Amino acid sequence: MEYNLKEEGGFKYIETEGGKETLLLLHGLFGALSNFEGIINRFGKEYNVVVPMLPIFELPIIKVSVSGFVDHVTAFVNHKGFNKVHVLGNSLGGHITLLFSLANPDWIQSITLTGSSGLFENSLGSTFPKRGNYEFIKEKTESTFFDPSVATKELIDEVFDIVNDRGKAIRIIATAKSAVRHNLSDKLHQIKSPTCLIWGDHDTITPPFVGEKFQELIKNSTLHLVEKCGHAPMMERADVFNDILGAFLEANVSTDMMDA
């Protein structure tokens, strides 16, 4: 089932309106709605799955930072009037999830992180961007996954177009640098919400030891390593990912829902 992108109040998002509990999905630096297609299809009827588009290319350049995106998500949740959310973030979206959760603990029903930044990540590196070099972008995009065929031509073309737009490339670099500056190792002990960590065992961007460190620092957390999988388990091993997520969400349904 396809869901239309809504635009209101300065926000762009999709919303499935499929259940009483809200599952908020936060995408990564090169993220798009397609990254969460498997989650939306699996949980869109059971949960109110909501995907706000992070304004990486719309915010004033001075506000392009991890903190700026947290402010955007906070304003969005206020705009929608959500009382409690299950929040899930991939890569940069995981980093934003953590900062959002630290700032608004009363809003958080549960946290799911997959390939999250916030502790360590192999960032874009000194070679980014090689504008006009399609093969380089193809190789970098394919390296996100254990199985390079998951990187479709459509996905590679999308990344290539971003890198070759000077304004967008500057914003990508500014965001990546901001993420590196916002290391959360000294703050994660403050996270009290139940947390599910789903990591690809062949993630080269946030390797498995990063997931293990998150598990060490977040007391109420459980780590699941997905075999033969890279940085985006919800795309590459959607069935396995969704089984783990479904069990976790079910175990952390609100008491109001249990009484209903």
The reported pLDDT for the residue numbered 253 is 86
Kindly state whether residue 31 falls inside one of the protein's structural domains: yes
As given in the structure block, the two tokens for residue 234 are: 């919800």
The reported pLDDT for the residue numbered 125 is 44
The reported pLDDT for the residue numbered 1 is 58
Contact 57, 171 (CB under 8 A): yes
The total of structural domains in the chain comes to 1
| Measured distance CA(237)–CA(242) in Å, rounded | 9
Contact 227, 91 (CB under 8 A): no
Kindly state whether residue 234 falls inside one of the protein's structural domains: yes
The reported pLDDT for the residue numbered 59 is 86
The reported pLDDT for the residue numbered 260 is 45
Kindly state whether residue 57 falls inside one of the protein's structural domains: yes
Domain of 252 in residue numbering reads as 6-121+183-259
Which CATH number goes with the domain that contains 91? 3.40.50.1820
Dihedral (Cα; 104, 110, 113, 116), 10-degree rounding:
10
Single-letter amino acid code for the residue at 207: P
Per run of 10 residues, the mean pLDDT along the chain (length 260 residues) is: 86 94 93 87 96 91 91 97 96 96 97 95 56 84 93 90 87 87 94 97 96 97 98 96 98 65
Kindly state whether residue 239 falls inside one of the protein's structural domains: yes
Kindly state whether residue 33 falls inside one of the protein's structural domains: yes
| Measured distance CA(114)–CA(205) in Å, rounded | 11
The reported pLDDT for the residue numbered 127 is 45
Kindly state whether residue 194 falls inside one of the protein's structural domains: yes
Kindly state whether residue 11 falls inside one of the protein's structural domains: yes
The reported pLDDT for the residue numbered 216 is 97
The reported pLDDT for the residue numbered 177 is 87
| Measured distance CA(86)–CA(22) in Å, rounded | 6
Kindly state whether residue 157 falls inside one of the protein's structural domains: no
Give DSSP secondary structure letters for the chain.
---PPEEETTEEEEE---SSSEEEEE--TT--GGGGHHHHHHHTTTSEEEEEPP-TTTS-GGG-SHHHHHHHHHHHHHHHT-S-EEEEEETHHHHHHHHHHHH-GGGEEEEEEES--SS----S-TT---TT-HHHHHHHHHTTSSSGGGS-HHHHHHHHHHHTSHHHHHHHHHHHHHHHH---TTTGGG--S-EEEEEETT-SSS-HHHHHHHHHHSTTEEEEEESS--S-HHHHTHHHHHHHHHHHHHHT--HHHHH-
The residues near 254 (Cβ < 8 Å, ≥ 6 apart) are 21, 84, 109
